[in-house]
């Protein structure tokens, strides 16, 4: 299991920031060729990001590259160039089923040509249109490479013609829809970034809200947001303690030859045991135990 609690956006045209992308502690870094890069710098950013992946160390951070929308002249060029240096994943903006199938096909060709393991480059559809949201399930199904979905609320609310607010009531449906589809298909559901860097309290509330609906991680637009995201997505002390007790009790029951057992007066069954195992694994990965 690899944690994907935080995904940090880094502009693809800033060498200084790219150099440090891997040391900031984010579970994933998204090297951005799309919104962060001006039209006049699209090709130089592509080369910069390609060379950064080739030469720099990203330590424990997963490398994801957000390419330009495939409907633009840059999109497929980005995919072809970047795939050759084997990022962990490619993020496709305003994704449709057709886009995901199209990128999948190119990746198959490049993996074969370069001798990479087939299917090793993963995909992240970015759900940020009304169409994308309503079809998120089939978009995920469009390729086995899809490993997670990022919800992009700014563009989505724009497409819906509604106002984006700090409290985020307007994206409740979108979050629920993305989270449910992702859970159903066993991929990660990454929540939209929170843009007010100075309002830490509202930021924490926003992450908690996303977590409570079933999102598994959150995008960050500033390295300062990473620790807060990790704190909220980390299993709490009570959760860890409960999980440890479940697993201890399970061992005990096994020794005694019991199939089912109870803890605190409640029956413990397979889903509870699985959840306890996941909690412990997450806690270990987060360095909490």
Partner 1 sequence: MKNAVGREIPDNIEGIGKVKPYEGAFKNIGAIEKTKVKVSSKLPNEDKVLSSIRESIIKCGLKDGQTISFHHHLRNGDHVLNMVLKEIDELGIKDITVAASSIFPVHQPLVEYIKKGVVTGIYANYISGPVAEAISLGLLKKPVVMQSHGGRARAIEEGDLHIDVAFIAAPTCDTYGNINGVDGRAACGSLGYAIPDAMYADKVVAITDNLVDYPACPIEISQEYVDYVVKVDSIGDPNGIVSGTTKITKDPVGLKIAKMAAQVIKASGLLKDGFSFQTGAGGTSLAVAAYLRDMMKKENIKGSFASGGVTGYIVEMFEEGLFDSIFDVQCFDLKAIESYRNDKRHQGMSASMYGNPHNKGCVVNNLDVMILGATEIDTDFNVNVTTGSNGIIMGGSGGHNDTAAGSKLSIVVTQLTKGRLPIVVDKVTTVTTPGETIDVLVTERGIAVNPNRKDLIEKLKGTNLPIVTIDELKKTAEELTGVPEKVEFDDKIVGVVEYRDGTIIDVLKKVK
Told to check if 24 binds partner 1 by CB under 8 A, we report: yes
Structure tokens that stand for 170 in this block: 């307007």
**Burial of residue 143 (number of CB atoms within 10 Å: 0-12, 13-18, 19+):** buried
Q: How far is the CB of 66 from partner 1 (least distance, A)?
A: 20
Closer Cβ to partner 1, 24 or 53, answer by number: 24
- The answer to whether the CB of 31 falls within 8 A of the CB of 13 is no
Q: Does 214 bind partner 1 (CB under 8 A)?
A: no
* Pick 24 or 30: Cβ nearer partner 1: 24
Distances (CA, A) of 111 to 80, 114, 173: 11, 5, 37
Binds partner 1 by CB under 8 A, chosen from 25, 85, 137, 263: 25
Nearer to partner 1, 25 or 214 (CB): 25
Please choose, out of 160-168, 173-181, 219-227, 256-264, the segment that lies near partner 1 by the rule CB under 8 A. 219-227
Among 11, 93, 223, 235, which residue interacts with partner 1 (rule: CB under 8 A)?
Answer: 223
**Contact call for residue 208 and partner 1 (CB under 8 A):** no
Report the phi/psi class of residue 25: left, alpha or beta, with left for phi > 0 and alpha for psi in -120 to 50: left
Distance CA 246, CA 171 (A): 36
Interface with partner 1, residue 198, by CB under 8 A? no
Position 57 contacts partner 1 (CB under 8 A): yes
The interface region with partner 1, picked from 16-24, 95-103, 110-118, 203-211 by CB under 8 A, is 16-24
Structure tokens of 127?
């759900």
Region from 125-133, 180-188, 221-229, 253-261 binding partner 1, contact rule CB under 8 A: 221-229
Is the CB of 106 or the CB of 286 nearer to partner 1?
Answer: 286
Pick from 113, 200, 224, 254: which binds partner 1 (CB under 8 A)?
Answer: 224
Could you tell me the two tokens for 259?
Answer: 């199939």
Number of residues this chain uses to bind partner 1 (CB under 8 A): 12
**Cα separation, 185 vs 183, whole angstroms:** 5
Residue 176 interacts with partner 1 (CB under 8 A): yes or no: no
Unique residue bearing structure tokens 């061992």: 251
Is 287 among the residues that bind partner 1 (CB under 8 A)? yes
By CB under 8 A, name the binding residues for partner 1.
Answer: 19-20, 23-25, 56-57, 59, 222-224, 287
């Amino acid at each position: 299991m690899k944690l994907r609690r935080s995904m940090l956006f880094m502009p693809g045209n800033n060498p200084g920031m790219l150099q440090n992308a891997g040391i900031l502690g984010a579970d994933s870094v998204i090297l951005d060729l799309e919104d962060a890069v001006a039209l006049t710098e699209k090709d130089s950013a592509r080369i910069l990001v390609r060379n950064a992946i080739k030469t720099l160390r990203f330590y424990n951070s997963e490398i994801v590259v957000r390419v330009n929308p495939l409907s633009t002249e840059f999109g497929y060029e980005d995919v072809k160039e970047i795939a050759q240096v084997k990022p962990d994943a490619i993020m496709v903006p305003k994704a449709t089923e057709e886009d995901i199938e199209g990128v999948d096909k190119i990746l198959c060709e490049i993996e074969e040509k370069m001798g990479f393991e087939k299917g090793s480059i993963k995909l992240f559809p970015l759900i940020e249109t009304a169409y994308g949201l309503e079809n998120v399930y089939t978009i995920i199904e469009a390729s086995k490479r899809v490993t997670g979905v990022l919800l992009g609320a700014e563009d989505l609310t724009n497409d819906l013609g509604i106002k984006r607010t700090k409290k985020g009531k307007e994206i409740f449906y979108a979050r629920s829809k993305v989270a449910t589809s992702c859970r159903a298909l066993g991929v990660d559901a990454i929540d939209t970034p929170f843009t007010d860097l100075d309002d830490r309290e509202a930021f924490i509330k926003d992450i908690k809200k996303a977590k409570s609906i079933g999102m598994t991680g959150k995008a960050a637009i500033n390295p300062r947001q990473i620790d807060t995201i990790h704190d909220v997505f980390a299993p709490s002390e009570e959760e860890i303690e409960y999980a440890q007790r479940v697993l201890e009790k399970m061992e005990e029951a096994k020794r005694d030859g019991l199939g089912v057992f109870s803890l605190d007066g409640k029956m413990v069954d397979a889903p509870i045991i699985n959840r306890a195992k996941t909690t412990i694994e997450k806690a270990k990965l987060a360095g909490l135990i």
